[in-house]
């Protein structure tokens, strides 16, 4: 934060000035943590003037940093834990802001701060050579505005408009997120300042969600149930990946009025990469398959596909004499049924999640564009808590908006990994446990899905 202030252009008197708001969600937290940390970095007796009654600190001595050019950096400590406190910002003219433990601060405050930075120093005094907001936080909830802004929203159009005025502006320069490695990872940070095995001891007795957020540095998920795939680590498993042109791509399907199709590929390295998803609502398989074919032609040209789906797609629904498989066959999609046994489906996904391929690389990679699958892995796909005393959950994953793409993914997994999980595998139609694989009490009596 302060280093950004040091880069400001000098004013007419030769002094480089900047003004920063340092924000936390309460004054007690400011005084107990944030202010103490700043004073530890820059002791007031050495660097400047601290005014406790005004919660302001002006740094104006830089000799200790070996910088002969004079600079004045004003820090205004403010507590803004409610949207109605936004009024406290409206008259401030700032160079930038540092928001400490940012997930605790309402998003309305973040948006208000954006409108106050870059206003100091004035142009006549040299202006700000850099302005912006720096934030630190534990990972926020996957349903939060933070997640939507940094992981889901596409800022390309907005940044291109800015680039017309500021040449060279890119999305990475506009807004960028830096993720710390897990506290238990070999490349964990800050271990020299902590007791031995600090994070390992901290994890003892904690919930999976606590460990995910506060130790492994992953996004959390506000849920009342239990994640089906706790093996998934967003930091480790989610990153950009690309298919190999000469290898087939799996299209795995889930049917019903909320159909889903997942695109994945098995690489020579042993990695299973999931590169794309299509999810629809209130749409039958006829229209949905047209969307899948159009998407495939656009994004996967000259690609061989292996189609696998919910074996219930071979059943005739009461509302239509044609099965889903017959509809797809009519469009040139040679789909086959995956395994329906729940234990095999789930274990087929868990296997690559727990596997390392090609050295220290994960055996499973999920592209960030697969937002529904990503939410599902982070806890949206869950065992529902039973309304009884104690920690009891249903024995089958809950049917919700994330279960459809997650089910689709599992059918491809059974085709790739399921064979090694069950002995004596035979063709689908002749399998003795065919009825078991179709047994799902949550299916609709009308559509069969």
CA end-to-end distance (rounded Å), the chain? 55
pLDDT tens track for 386-410: 766 666 778 899 888 899 999 999 9
**Residue 426: is its pLDDT beyond 50?**
no
Comparing 1-5, 119-123, 310-314, the range with the smallest average pLDDT is 1-5
Q: Please say if the pLDDT value at position 433 is more than 80.
A: no
Structure tokens at 172: 């990475």
Where do we find the tokens 């309402």?
Answer: 106
In terms of C-beta density within 10 A (0-12 exposed, 13-18 middle, 19 or more buried), how is residue 64 classed?
exposed
Q: Supply 290's token pair.
A: 């047209």
pLDDT score of 320: 61
Mapped onto helix, strand or coil, the DSSP state of residue 296 is helix
* pLDDT tens, residue by residue, 199-208: 999 999 887 7
**80: closest CA among 52, 53, 104, 55?**
104
H helix runs in 90-180, sequence order: 107-114, 145-147, 156-163, 171-174
Does 121 sit behind a cis peptide bond, omega within 30 degrees of 0 on the bond before it? yes
Q: So what's the pLDDT on residue 288?
A: 95
Find the mean pLDDT for residues 172-201: 88
Cα-based distances in Å from 322 to 142, 287, 326, 335, 336: 39, 14, 6, 15, 16
CA dist 35 and 40 (Å) reads 9
Handedness of CA 126, 127, 130, 136 (dihedral sign): positive
Lowest mean pLDDT among 81-90, 147-156, 254-263, 290-299: 81-90
Least trusted range by pLDDT, from 287-301, 369-383, 423-437: 423-437
Is the pLDDT confidence value at 417 over 50?
Answer: yes
Handedness of CA 425, 430, 433, 437 (dihedral sign): positive
- Do 319 and 446 contact (CB within 8 A), yes or no? yes
Task: Specify the pTM.
Answer: 0.62
pLDDT for 348: 94
Kindly give the pairing relationship between strand 382-385 and strand 226-227: antiparallel
Sign of CA dihedral 165, 166, 167, 171: negative
Q: Residue 440: name the closest of 449, 428, 432 by CA.
A: 449
Cα distance between residue 84 and residue 144, in whole Å = 19
Among candidates 125, 126, 64, 56, which has minimal Cα distance to 92? 56
Within 249-321, strands assigned E span 249-254, 260-266, 272-279, 305-309
How far is 170 from 38, CA to CA, in rounded Å? 31
Query: What whole-number distance in Å separates Cα of residue 308 and Cα of residue 250?
Result: 7
Tokens of residue 134, six digits:
């720096």
Residue in this structure with the two tokens 């997930």, named with its chain if needed: 103
What pLDDT is attached to residue 432?
A: 37
- The percentage of the chain sitting over the pLDDT mark of 90, rounded to a whole number, equals 43
pLDDT for the residue numbered 18: 92
Higher pLDDT, 62 or 292: 292
| Residue 278 reports pLDDT greater than 60 | yes
Q: Which residues pair with 226 in a beta bridge?
A: 383
pLDDT of residue 379: 86
The mean per-residue pLDDT over the stretch 153-163 comes to 84
Q: Is 80 exceeded by the pLDDT of residue 60?
A: yes
Q: Which tokens go with 402?
A: 């994330």
Give the containing element (helix H, strand E) for 418: none
SS3 of residue 270 by DSSP: coil
Closest to 133 measured CA to CA, from 164, 158, 102? 102
DSSP alpha helix (H) spans, 169-306: 171-174, 198-203, 208-210, 234-237, 285-299
Does residue 123 register a pLDDT over 80? yes
Q: Is 273 exposed, middle or buried (0-12, 13-18, 19+ CB in 10 A)?
A: buried
> How many whole angstroms from its chain centre is CA 275?
15
């Amino acid at each position: 934060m302060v280093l950004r202030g040091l880069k400001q252009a000098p004013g007419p008197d030769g002094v480089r000035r900047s003004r920063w708001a340092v924000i936390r969600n309460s004054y007690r937290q400011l005084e107990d943590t944030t202010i103490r940390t700043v004073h530890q970095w820059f002791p007031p007796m050495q660097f400047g003037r601290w005014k406790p009654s005004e919660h302001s600190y002006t740094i104006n001595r830089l000799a200790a940093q070996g910088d002969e050019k004079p600079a004045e950096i004003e820090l205004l400590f403010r507590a803004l834990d409610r949207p109605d406190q936004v009024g406290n910002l409206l008259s401030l003219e700032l160079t930038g802001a540092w928001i400490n433990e940012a997930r605790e601060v309402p998003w309305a405050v973040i948006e208000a701060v954006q409108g106050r930075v870059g206003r100091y120093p004035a142009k006549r005094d040299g202006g700000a050579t850099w302005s912006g907001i720096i934030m630190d936080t534990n990972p926020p909830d996957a349903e939060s505005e933070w997640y939507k802004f940094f992981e889901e929203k596409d800022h390309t159009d907005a940044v291109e408009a800015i680039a017309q005025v500021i040449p060279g502006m890119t999305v990475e320069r506009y807004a960028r997120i830096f993720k710390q490695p897990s506290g238990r990872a070999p490349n964990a940070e800050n271990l020299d300042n902590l007791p031995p095995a600090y994070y390992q001891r901290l994890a003892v007795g904690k919930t999976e969600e606590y460990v995910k957020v506060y130790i492994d540095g992953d996004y959390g998920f506000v849920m009342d149930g239990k994640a089906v795939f706790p093996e998934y680590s967003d930091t480790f498993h989610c990153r950009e990946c690309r298919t190999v042109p000469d290898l087939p791509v799996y299209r795995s399907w889930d049917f019903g009025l909320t159909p889903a199709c997942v695109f994945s590929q098995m690489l020579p390295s042993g990695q299973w990469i999931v590169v794309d998803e299509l999810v629809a609502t209130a749409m039958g398989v006829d229209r949905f398959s047209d969307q899948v074919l159009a998407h495939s032609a656009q994004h996967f040209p000259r690609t061989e596909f292996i189609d696998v789906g919910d074996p219930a797609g071979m059943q005739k629904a009461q509302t239509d004499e044609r099965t889903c498989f017959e509809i797809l066959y009519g469009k040139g999609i040679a789909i086959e049924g995956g395994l329906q046994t729940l234990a095999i489906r789930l274990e087929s996904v868990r296997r690559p999640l727990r596997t390392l391929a090609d050295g220290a690389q994960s055996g499973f990679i999920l592209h960030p564009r697969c937002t529904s699958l990503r939410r599902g892995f982070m806890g949206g796909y869950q065992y529902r808590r039973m309304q009884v005393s104690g920690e009891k959950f249903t024995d089958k994953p809950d049917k919700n908006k994330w279960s459809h793409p997650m089910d689709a993914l599992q059918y491809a997994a059974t085709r790739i990994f399921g064979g090694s999980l069950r002995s004596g595998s035979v063709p689908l139609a002749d399998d003795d446990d065919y009825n078991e694989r179709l047994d799902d009490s949550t299916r609709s009596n009308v559509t069969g899905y």
